[in-house]
């Protein structure tokens, strides 16, 4: 099989709950998503997605990603997409860094590899180990009562895992977290996620104030080193996210910061190939695995589902289906959650079929 064409599409991805708010005044009602289509000489297409969460969450943007794709795409024409490791070597030899652009291309290759073998990507990542898993939903930063009401509403839909957006004034963040814990039940899991929004002093104040609550604390500061300092002496379990992108980062998260879990975002790591590597290492290190991306719709949700299904059930911690949070339904709103749980979509590859009629003309189209 050979790649004979590459198309890059833009599409709008709106947040279905109004405005998504994080620490530091970061907020969004919709995002500018990027879809990548690989066309092959055997008539099969593969799809990948990368959708940013604004321009100040992680060091990327839609324009940056599309510029990277324009640099990478010519080098992939003629390659066999069912050999994702080779494709990654070519991408790395073509352009240093730019994991976000590479991620969408890598996901599309795995989609094609699964379709070529008539197997879901999960089978190629080691096989299905978890057929049904609980999903989490993020609670936008707001007044404590409003955040508690959000938790109550989503619990009625079956969700029992929540990632609370905190990271502003630490004492108010403690009040926000307490209100959400009280809105939960005995089986509710609560993670207070600052998205690196606290400085060290604020983080120490917040972590101390949260000590009596049954919660996890996620990414209190920007760097792993500062997260370790902020968490020193705390009885609460620590989760890292934005500061972990490589295998060395995973090792440091456990050994230097004392983290019990890492939230792996597919695009930050550089695609399914590298995310699966870090996932497998985390399982061997006894860390809990969280799987998602920055934002997106059906395509990235399907990629997350393939990873989640091939993860050990006892290791899987927090997983999101972004197509529940957004209106990015370019593949018929599949995969679909049921009662706050996710499962693998039926079908080979990512298990979805993208509706081209939902997309406009491509921003970039290359042919061999």
Q: Which two tokens stand for residue 220?
A: 């209190």
Which is the catalytic residue, given 102, 115, 165, 254? 165
Give the tokens for residue 63. 């324009």
Cβ pair 317, 108 in contact under 8 A = no
Contact 232, 192 (CB under 8 A): no
Residue 2: active-site member: no
d(CA 297, CA 146): 25
H and E: helices and strands count for the chain? 13, 16
Which of the residues 102, 115, 254, 265 is marked catalytic? 265
Q: Determine whether 24 is exposed, middle or buried from the number of CB atoms within 10 Å of its CB (0-12, 13-18, 19+).
A: middle
Q: Name the DSSP letter for residue 356.
A: G
Contact 305, 330 (CB under 8 A): no
DSSP secondary structure of 36-69: EEEEETTS-EEEEEEE-S-SSSSS--HHHHHHHH
Active site residues: 165, 265
């Amino acid at each position: 099989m050979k790649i004979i064409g590459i198309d890059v599409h833009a599409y709008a991805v709106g947040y279905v709950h109004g405005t998504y708010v994080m620490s530091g005044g970061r907020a969004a009602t919709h995002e500018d998503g990027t879809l990548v289509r690989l066309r092959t000489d055997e008539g099969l297409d593969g799809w990948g997605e990368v959708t940013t969460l604004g321009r100040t969450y992680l060091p990327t943007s839609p324009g940056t990603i599309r510029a990277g794709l324009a640099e990478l795409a010519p080098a992939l024409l003629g390659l066999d997409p069912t050999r994702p490791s080779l494709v990654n070597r070519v991408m790395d030899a073509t352009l240093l860094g730019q994991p976000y652009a590479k991620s969408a291309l890598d996901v599309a290759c795995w989609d094609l590899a699964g379709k070529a073998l008539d197997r879901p990507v999960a089978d190629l990542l080691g096989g299905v180990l978890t057929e049904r898993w609980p999903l989490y939903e993020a609670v936008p930063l707001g007044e404590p009562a409003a955040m508690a009401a959000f938790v109550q509403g989503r619990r009625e839909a079956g969700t029992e895992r929540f990632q609370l957006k905190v990271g502003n004034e630490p004492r108010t963040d403690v009040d926000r977290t307490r209100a959400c814990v009280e809105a939960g039940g005995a089986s509710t899991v609560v993670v207070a996620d600052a998205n690196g929004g606290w400085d060290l002093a604020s983080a120490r104040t917040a972590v101390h104030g949260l000590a009596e609550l049954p919660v996890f604390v996620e990414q209190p500061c920007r760097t792993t080193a500062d997260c370790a300092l902020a968490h020193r002496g705390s009885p609460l379990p620590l989760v890292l996210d934005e500061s972990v992108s490589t295998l060395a980062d995973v090792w440091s998260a456990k050994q230097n910061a004392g983290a019990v879990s890492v939230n792996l975002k597919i695009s930050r790591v550089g695609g399914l190939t590298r995310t699966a590597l870090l996932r497998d290492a985390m399982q061997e290190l006894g860390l809990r695995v969280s799987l998602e991306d920055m934002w997106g719709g059906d395509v990235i949700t399907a990629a997350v589902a393939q990873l989640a299904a091939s993860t050990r059930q006892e290791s899987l911690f927090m997983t999101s289906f972004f197509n529940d949070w957004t209106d990015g339904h370019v593949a018929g709103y599949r995969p679909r959650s049921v009662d706050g749980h996710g499962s693998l979509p039926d079908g080979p590859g990512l298990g979805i079929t993208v509706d081209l009629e939902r997309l406009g003309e491509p921003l970039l189209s290359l042919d061999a």
